Amino acid sequence: MATKAANKRLTREYKTISENPPPYIQAHPSESNILEWHYIITGPENTPYHGGQYWGTLIFPPDYPFAPPAIRMHTPSGRFQPSTRLCLSISDFHPKSFNPAWEVSTILIGLLSFMTSDEMTTGSVGATESERKWAAARTRWWNSTGGGSSARAGSFQKGNIKAGDGGAKFRAEWPELDKENWAWMKENGIDAATGASALQESKNCIPTAGLRRPSGSQPVVGAVVEGGRAAGDVGQGWIRRNKLLVAGAVIFTYVLIARILGEGASTNA
């Protein structure tokens, strides 16, 4: 339960962010709990996330603003592991570095900035630009269907934020956006169960939710990446994918060196 100070502060911040929302960001507290905030980040231009609809939550501690919130992004993005707490300087992973002067808008602007960077941390995901574009094209479908679960009989689970809730939680917090998403899916012939487009794409059109995941790529949700291991994991992944090429290069180099040394020995003799 929020303290009086936290309740007053968050009420004021909701008024501020509603009247003057930062670019690409919407946010509001849940009607049942002012400590639970829901945000939408719209993917900025000139990024792999362009046009994507990224939904997440900020869970504030009762003593906010003297401690930071837990930050999660539920929509698969190819950038963050869905519904996983993110380790950022503005999140509850680093309470000592949190500045009480920072507000909800500050936190979400920081999250957007981190999202569009290449920096890795706990909760980050390694993915290609093509995979992230593929995920962006499916975000509205995923948010409103729970990843297709709304089309499966008996799969409805009220209150479950992850895939399996049939989009119920998203619909409860973003009813207008949910209506827009379903209208968009109908207009584009999107299959609610799979996210695939039933319409024939013309040669000059860019597919939307019907995009297939890039051939040979890994699932866009990827794997959680610990910040200190990010660079090593990326390098090891490249080596695993190209092990034959690496082995060939090693053998070629060995033969070349042996030949040069052999020729040198013959000349000296």
User: Which residue, among 117, 134, 130, 111, has the nearest Cα to 209 in the 3D structure?
Assistant: 134
Residue 170 has which token pair?
A: 């998203």
User: Which residue, among 24, 51, 19, 49, has the nearest Cα to 39 in the 3D structure?
Assistant: 24
CB 142 within 8 A of CB 101: no
- 96-133 burial, b at 16+ Cβ within 10 Å, e below that, comes to eebeeeebbbebbbbbbebbbeeebbbbbbbbeebbbb
Residue 36 host element (H or E): strand 33-42
User: Which residue, among 195, 41, 190, has the nearest Cα to 104 in the 3D structure?
Assistant: 41
Q: For 27-36, which contacts have Cβ atoms below 8 Å and span 24 or more sequence positions?
A: 27/58, 27/104, 27/105, 27/108, 28/173, 30/173, 34/2, 34/6, 34/7, 34/10, 35/2, 35/6, 35/10, 35/59, 35/60, 35/61, 35/62, 35/64, 36/60
- Cα torsion 132, 138, 144, 145: sign: negative
User: Which residue, among 116, 62, 110, 118, has the nearest Cα to 89 in the 3D structure?
Assistant: 110
Catalytic residue at 87? yes
Which of 59, 70, 87, 109 is the catalytic position? Answer: 87
Active site residues: 87
